[in-house]
């Protein structure tokens, strides 16, 4: 086990590298293609799985290469069945990942960065800044880890763990495509959701993609001054421009973005705040997800009372804006990060997508 992390990750080899390697080991050319399929399409994480390769060849490979899969540092299991993992990559950096089963579905929430540079006031991840961005492989490895732990097929992935996916656009896109690949994990594009704090150039690029990936936007306030305070990292991407970019997105794609709105007592749950949210959404294609803020120990920001959340949902609905109240999953497992648990949410009283 230890060895596999110190040897070079065979998955870092390109198709050409694999051809060269196969020749060097005296194997016919078609073995390189088989190897490539196992690594890049079937997402193998051990040589043992590669059953159509001769055992001697697998042994030769295992002597030289390993799989730098992340190591599970901790796993917490909730009464509702969700599991939260702390996974460590080979450079010692670790991130959180959550697996959430519902009947015959398995949703996974992955991190796209260790830490985050955006500094949102209500977010535990943002408090310590960015450590580093993850590679696409590291994102996919989180999904593979959960799939293996549950021994189940993953049916959806949300990029809502630590980090800002659109600040790590290329790797996020590569991960989306790996997860979507028909001969790989084969997760439908609509079941792959990227959540952003509102990086407009990223939203524009996202709108240009051919695939029907789903977009979620963390809104949290439709009042510019409040949003600036809550989300200082996206100050320069004003609500006006965000609104325009989202209009362009819906026109281009015909798809409906969802808006995340974590309700904070006395901050974004007042009458003018509610009215501003209605104005932002009314007449546009969108779906609002309301949630009570997750309490972060030591933070002055507190969750709104449930009655306020329900009142906002009623007001939105009255104005023709679809809104769902979401409940935290895994509420009984360690909320130290204060961040991941709320992402694994299901419609109140329902089973969730």
Q: Which residues are annotated as catalytic? A: 96, 337
| Cα–Cα distance measured from residue 170 to residue 291, given in angstroms and rounded to the nearest whole number | 30
Which span sits near ligand SF4 by CB under 6 A: 115-123, 151-159, 294-302, 325-333? 115-123
| Cα–Cα distance measured from residue 116 to residue 196, given in angstroms and rounded to the nearest whole number | 12
The 217-256 site mask, x for binding ligand SAH (CB under 6 A), equals -x--------------------------------------
The tokens describing 232, both together, are 């200082």
Angle (CA) 150-151-155 rounded to 5° is 75
Taking CB under 6 A as the rule, does residue 198 contact ligand SF4?
A: no
What backbone phi and psi angles, to 5 degrees, belong to 85? -115, 145
Taking CB under 6 A as the rule, does residue 262 contact ligand SAH?
A: yes
Which of 65, 85, 122, 344 forms a contact with ligand SAH (CB under 6 A)? 122
Indicate which of ligand SAH, ligand SF4, none lies near residue 291 (CB less than 5 to 8 Å, by partner kind). ligand SAH
Indicate which of ligand SF4, ligand SAH, none lies near residue 296 (CB less than 5 to 8 Å, by partner kind). ligand SAH
CB nearer ligand SF4, residue 128 or residue 282:
128
Which of 18, 118, 215, 264 forms a contact with ligand SF4 (CB under 6 A)? 118
Backbone dihedral region for residue 129 (phi beyond 0: left; psi -120 to 50: alpha; all else: beta): left
For residue 59, how many other CB atoms are within 10 A of its CB? 10
The tokens describing 224, both together, are 């510019």
CB nearer ligand SF4, residue 32 or residue 123:
123
CA-based R_g, the chain, Å? 22
For residue 144, how many other CB atoms are within 10 A of its CB? 19
Taking CB under 6 A as the rule, does residue 125 contact ligand SF4?
A: yes
The 148-177 site mask, x for binding ligand SAH (CB under 6 A), equals ------------x---x-------------
CB nearer ligand SAH, residue 66 or residue 202:
202
Taking CB under 6 A as the rule, does residue 196 contact ligand SAH?
A: yes
Count of all residues that appear for the chain in the document: 353
Which of 133, 294, 313, 345 forms a contact with ligand SAH (CB under 6 A)? 294
61, containing H or E segment: helix 55-64
Which of 36, 96, 260, 269 forms a contact with ligand SAH (CB under 6 A)? 260
- CA-nearest of 210, 81, 226, 222 to 152 is 81
Size of site (CB under 6 A) for ligand SAH: 18
Return all residues near 172 (Cβ < 8 A) that are at least 6 apart: 112, 136, 139, 159, 165, 166, 194
Return all residues near 254 (Cβ < 8 A) that are at least 6 apart: none
CB nearer ligand SAH, residue 65 or residue 249:
249
Do residues 243 and 298 make contact, with C-beta atoms less than 8 angstroms apart? no
Do residues 302 and 263 make contact, with C-beta atoms less than 8 angstroms apart? no
Taking CB under 6 A as the rule, does residue 293 contact ligand SAH?
A: yes
Which of 60, 94, 172, 195 forms a contact with ligand SAH (CB under 6 A)? 195
Taking CB under 6 A as the rule, does residue 107 contact ligand SF4?
A: no
The CA-atom distances, in angstroms, between 342 and each of 63, 97, 114 are 43, 12, 18
The residues binding ligand SF4 (CB under 6 A) are 116, 118-120, 123, 125-126, 162-164, 197, 218
The residues binding ligand SAH (CB under 6 A) are 122-123, 160, 164, 195-197, 218, 260, 262, 291, 293-294, 296, 338-339, 342-343
């Amino acid at each position: 086990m230890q060895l596999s992390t110190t040897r070079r990750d065979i998955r870092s080899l390109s198709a050409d590298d694999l051809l060269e390697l196969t020749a060097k080991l005296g194997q016919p050319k078609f073995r390189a293609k088989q190897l490539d399929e196992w690594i890049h399409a079937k997402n193998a994480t051990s040589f043992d799985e590669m059953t159509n390769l001769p055992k001697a060849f697998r042994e030769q490979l295992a002597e030289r290469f390993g799989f730098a899969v992340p190591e599970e540092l901790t796993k917490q299991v909730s009464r509702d069945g969700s599991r939260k993992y702390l996974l460590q990559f080979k450079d010692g950096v670790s991130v959180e990942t959550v697996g959430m089963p519902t009947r015959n579905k398995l949703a996974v929430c992955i991190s796209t960065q260790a830490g985050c540079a955006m500094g949102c006031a209500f977010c535990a991840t943002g408090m310590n800044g960015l450590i580093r961005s993850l590679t696409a492989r590291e994102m996919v490895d989180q999904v593979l880890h959960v799939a293996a732990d549950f021994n189940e097929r993953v049916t959806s992935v949300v990029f809502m763990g630590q980090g800002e996916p659109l600040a790590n656009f290329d790797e996020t896109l590569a991960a989306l495509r790996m997860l979507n690949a028909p001969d790989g994990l084969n997760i439908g594009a609509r079941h792959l959701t990227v959540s952003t704090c509102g990086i407009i150039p990223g939203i524009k690029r996202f709108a240009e993609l051919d695939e029907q990936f789903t977009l979620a936007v963390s809104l949290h306030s439709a009042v510019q001054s409040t949003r600036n305070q809550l989300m200082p990292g996206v100050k320069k991407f004003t609500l006006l421009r965000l609104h325009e970019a989202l209009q362009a997105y819906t026109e281009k794609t015909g798809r409906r973005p969802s808006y995340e709105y974590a309700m904070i007592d006395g901050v974004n749950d007042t009458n003018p705040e509610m009215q501003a949210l209605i104005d932002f959404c009314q007449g546009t294609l969108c779906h609002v997800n309301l949630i009570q803020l997750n309490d972060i120990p030591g933070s002055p920001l507190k969750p709104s009372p449930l009655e306020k959340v329900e009142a906002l949902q009623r007001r939105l609905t009255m104005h023709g804006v679809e809104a769902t109240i979401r409940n935290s999953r895994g509420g009984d497992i360690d909320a130290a990060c204060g961040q991941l648990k709320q992402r694994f949410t299901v419609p109140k009283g329902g089973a969730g997508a």
